Chains A and B, each alone.
Chain A
Amino acid sequence: MSNAISIRLETVFKSTLGIDAVPAGLSQKNCEAWDSVNHLNLILALEAEFDVAFEPEEIAAMQDLDTVKKQLAAKL
């Protein structure tokens, strides 16, 4: 994933979840703001930012930053 894509991805995370930093290892388990509703908002924001579409099983699997990056990279 290019640096430019990573920066755009971080921006989506920060604005959607209202967090100041996007540390490696970020996940739904260690981020209170990443709840079930914000998870859907995050996916919608990613779809809009990168003009991609995620399937329900992908959405369910994207519970941590690493998986989000992998799923996104596969569509770019």
Chain B
Amino acid sequence: MNISDFKIHHIGVAVADIESAAEVYRENGYLCTTPVFDPLQNVNICFAEKPDELRAELLAPADERSPVSDILKKSGGEPEVYHVCYAVSDIDQTISDLRKERWLLVKPPVPAVACGNARVAFLYSKEAGLIELLEEKS
């Protein structure tokens, strides 16, 4: 299994303030969804979309306990692309396959409020970094 076979769903961008970041995207022709709070990641999330462009997920920490807060601390508060999300049809099977290739399961599948409660999971490899899997049922 190779992640390059997967379809990219979005890139995840850590930002300090969701509204100011969304405003910049809007000024550049993107449509931004209304921010929602994800209690599992302790972040506020909105998606910025534009036809034929890569979708961006903007994530701002709700407080210091959020994992996104650590990312911003390391970046000096600057926006940082920190994960790529891939859409898969069977998240459990994909995780099982990636685990055999020594990917680390960081966060098991959970419903994501920002994605219509579709299940998402996070995995990490030293070589490829952090990825998110989003289960899209056909």
Q: Write the residues of chain A forming the contact surface with B, with a CB cutoff of 8 angstroms.
A: 35-36, 40-41, 43-44, 47-48, 53-56, 59
Contacts and interface: CB of A to CB of B under 8 A. Distances in A.
B36 interface: no
18 contacts: A35-B70, A36-B67, A36-B70, A36-B71, A40-B104, A40-B106, A40-B126, A43-B104, A44-B104, A44-B124, A44-B126, A47-B102, A47-B104, A56-B105, A56-B106, A56-B107, A59-B104, A59-B106
B123 to A, nearest CB: 10
A44 B71 CA distance: 20
Contacts, number: 28
B74 interface: yes
Nearest to B82: A37
A75 B134 CA distance: 30
Interface of A is mostly: helix
Interface residues of B, number: 14
B50 interface: no
Which residue among A40, A48, A55 has the maximum number of chain B CB atoms within 10 Å of its CB? A40
A6 to B, nearest CB: 23
A53 B105 CA distance: 10
